[in-house]
Amino acid sequence: MLGFALISCPPSFSRSRNDIFINGFGLFTSAAGVKIAWWIDPAGAALISVVLIFLWGQTCTTNFQLLAGIAAPEEFRQLVIYKAMTYSSEIVAIDSVASYHAGPNLIVEVDIVMKPETPLWAAHDLSQSLQGEHHCRRCC
């Protein structure tokens, strides 16, 4: 069995998006409240509150799914299978692949099949080199 992790960057995009929305829309409704009608400013504040509750609810749901161990995307799983199969000619087949999130990390377990006459030390060395090859870090 082979496992490796893929570390993702912290989601700073959602914070920036929220800040831009709050500041831009808040400035607009404040100015409109002074120039057009008094009720626009408090209505804008209420709308900002509702939108932020919705956006942070989505962020919480996504993070909870990652912490709960949601499965990795199928495209990623297929890429892992391809990389493992093309890593060495000694690998005959892939028995099973499991890939799931553990927080921001992706944990991957690959069961490889080799020829029965392959010595244990050779199978061990190949699996260790495959594991070392696939420890990676994803950057923003």
Q: What is the pLDDT of residues 73-89, one digit of tens each?
A: 999 999 989 999 999 89
63 with 100, same domain? no
Higher-confidence residue of 94 and 140: namely 94
Residue 8 pLDDT > 70:
no
Q: What is the pLDDT of residues 110-122, one digit of tens each?
A: 999 999 999 999 9
CATH code for position 121: 3.30.70.1350
Share of the chain above pLDDT 90, in %: 44
**pTM of the predicted protein model:** 0.61
21 with 64, same domain? yes
Letter for the amino acid at 18?
Answer: N
The token pair at 51 is 């939108």
99 touches 107 (CB < 8 A): yes
Residue with tokens 């509702």: 50
State the average pLDDT over residues 123-127: 90
Range of the domain at 92: 2-6+70-137
Q: Which among 8, 1, 2 has a CA at the least distance from the CA of 106?
A: 8
Residue 3 pLDDT > 80:
no
79 with 120, same domain? yes
Please count the other Cβ atoms lying within 10 Å of the Cβ belonging to residue 51: 14
116-134 burial: b if 16+ Cβ within 10 Å, else e = eeeeeeeeeebbeebeeeb
pLDDT of 131 reads 83
The token pair at 14 is 């959602």
74 with 63, same domain? no
121 with 103, same domain? yes
State the average pLDDT over residues 83-101: 91
Residue 12 pLDDT > 50:
yes
3-state secondary structure at position 35 = helix
Euclidean distance between CA atoms 28 and 111, whole angstroms: 57
State the average pLDDT over residues 29-44: 92
- Number of structural domains in the chain: 2
61 with 80, same domain? no
pLDDT of 90 reads 92
Q: Phi first, then psi: what are they for 11, rounded to 5°?
A: -80, 80
135 touches 83 (CB < 8 A): no
